């Protein structure tokens, strides 16, 4: 894997793509979830010819709001924090990207948000012009891209619903169930919900204060609805959590 700097200055094409041997895309663990799942095995060499793999260290930013959207990204490992910087300097987290998610789609050729790594993140980076040419030549790939754009809208709508007329407890319950379902899609069903982001990030995303998030999680733990563990919670009473989320 390359470093963060190499994401800004793309590395050479992978040797496996040039030699005709097994490609990086063939071995990708998240390909069934990613945009490239639309491609047949015989088409993967075309994607592999334009991909640049890299890693981003925790807390490093790799998409800057307002800059030219010259690249698009597919998340392979780790969690990405997506946020907007408001005119008064405040930050509003608008979502969290996870393995299989696609980033960088822009309507006006500029990124509408910033993105940084919550923990160590592995990415596939594509030059946008090269990626657009490949997508334009393959209608089935374009349909898959439209599905991802729709998914982004659904995530935005979920956030609006979370922040709507709900109590802090209801917002946090809904957030935990949402994150459980997203992780289940990646690694299978589990009562343990990974939360690599800080509580401040959760508070920002839900429109709450960090004190309210901490106090609410502690109360849910005291009531035996969840168990707080390092960088995660375990759901002990799914029925109660779901009841709170539906309130």
How many H-runs (helices) and E-runs (strands) does the chain carry? Answer: 10, 11
Instruction: Check whether residue 35 and residue 13 sit in a common domain.
Output: yes
Q: What are the pLDDT digits (tens) for 30-75? A: 888 888 888 888 888 888 899 999 999 999 999 999 999 999 999 9
- Looking up residue 196, the CATH number of its domain turns out to be 1.10.10.10
- Local structure of 211: helix, strand or coil: helix
DSSP state of 53: E
Instruction: Check whether residue 11 and residue 61 sit in a common domain.
Output: yes
pLDDT at 247 over 90: no
Rounded (10°) angle between helices 210-222 and 199-206: 100
- Local structure of 85: helix, strand or coil: strand
pLDDT at 10 over 50: no
Average pLDDT of span 118-130: 95
Average pLDDT of span 179-205: 94
pLDDT at 6 over 60: no
Instruction: Check whether residue 108 and residue 192 sit in a common domain.
Output: no
Question: Positive or negative, the Cα torsion across 127, 130, 134, 137?
Answer: positive
- Looking up residue 23, the CATH number of its domain turns out to be 2.60.120.10
Q: Please give the C-alpha separations between residue 32 and each of 11, 37, 230, in angstroms, as whole numbers.
A: 25, 5, 29
- Please tell me which residue, 206 or 165, carries the higher pLDDT value: 206
Neighbours of 204 (CB within 10 A): 21
Instruction: Check whether residue 144 and residue 188 sit in a common domain.
Output: no
Instruction: Check whether residue 48 and residue 114 sit in a common domain.
Output: yes
* Domain termination site, one of 160, 195, 230: 160
pLDDT of residue 120: 96
Instruction: Check whether residue 144 and residue 128 sit in a common domain.
Output: yes
pLDDT category at 14 given cuts 50, 70, 90 is very low
- Which of these ranges, 52-61, 135-144, 184-193, 211-220, has the smallest mean pLDDT? 135-144
pLDDT of residue 35: 84
* Average pLDDT value for the chain: 85
Question: Hey, what are 69's tokens?
Answer: 């959207």
pLDDT of residue 12: 40
Instruction: Check whether residue 144 and residue 178 sit in a common domain.
Output: no
Instruction: Check whether residue 85 and residue 8 sit in a common domain.
Output: yes
Domain count, the chain: 2
Instruction: Check whether residue 43 and residue 61 sit in a common domain.
Output: yes
pLDDT of residue 17: 38
* Domain termination site, one of 123, 142, 160: 160
pLDDT > 90 fraction of the chain, expressed in percent and rounded: 56
- Please tell me which residue, 69 or 149, carries the higher pLDDT value: 69
Choose among 127, 104, 111, 130: nearest CA to 52. Answer: 127
* Domain termination site, one of 115, 130, 160: 160
Are the C-beta atoms of residues 83 and 94 closer than 8 Å to each other?
yes
pLDDT at 22 over 70: no
- Interatomic CA distance for residues 109 and 105, integer angstroms: 9
Instruction: Check whether residue 117 and residue 188 sit in a common domain.
Output: no
pLDDT of residue 83: 94
Q: What are the pLDDT digits (tens) for 201-244? A: 999 999 999 999 999 999 999 999 999 999 999 999 999 999 99
Instruction: Check whether residue 174 and residue 232 sit in a common domain.
Output: yes
**Residue tagged 């204060």 (tokens):** 209
Q: Please give the C-alpha separations between residue 201 and each of 92, 100, 157, in angstroms, as whole numbers.
A: 9, 21, 18
Q: List Cβ neighbours of 151 (8 Å cut-off, separation of 6 or more).
A: 101
Residue 177's domain comprises 164-246
In this structure, the dihedral spanned by the alpha carbons of residues 152, 194, 59 and 53, taken in order and rounded to 10 degrees, is -70
């Amino acid at each position: 894997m390359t470093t963060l700097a190499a994401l800004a200055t793309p590395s050479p094409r992978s040797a496996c793509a040039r030699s005709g041997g097994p490609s990086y895309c063939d071995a990708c663990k998240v390909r069934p979830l990613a945009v490239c799942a639309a491609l047949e095995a015989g088409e993967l060499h075309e994607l592999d010819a334009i991909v640049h793999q890299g890693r981003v260290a925790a807390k490093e930013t790799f998409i800057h709001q307002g800059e030219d959207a010259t690249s698009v990204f597919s998340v392979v490992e780790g969690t990405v924090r997506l946020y907007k910087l408001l005119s008064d300097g405040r930050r509003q987290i608008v979502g969290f990207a996870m393995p299989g998610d696609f980033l960088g789609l822009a309507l006006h050729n500029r990124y509408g948000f910033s993105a940084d790594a919550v923990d160590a993140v592995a990415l596939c980076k594509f030059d946008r012009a090269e990626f657009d040419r490949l997508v334009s030549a393959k209608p089935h790939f374009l349909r898959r891209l439209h599905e991802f754009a729709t998914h982004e809208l659904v995530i935005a709508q979920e956030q609006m619903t979370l922040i709507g007329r709900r109590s802090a407890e209801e917002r946090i319950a809904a957030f935990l169930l949402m994150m459980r379902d997203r992780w289940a899609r990646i690694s299978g069903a589990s009562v343990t919900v990974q939360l690599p982001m800080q509580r401040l990030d959760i508070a920002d995303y839900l429109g709450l204060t960090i004190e309210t998030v901490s106090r609410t999680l502690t109360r849910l733990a005291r009531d035996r609805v969840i168990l707080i563990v390092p960088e995660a919670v375990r759901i002990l009473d799914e029925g109660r959590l779901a009841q709170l989320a539906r309130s």
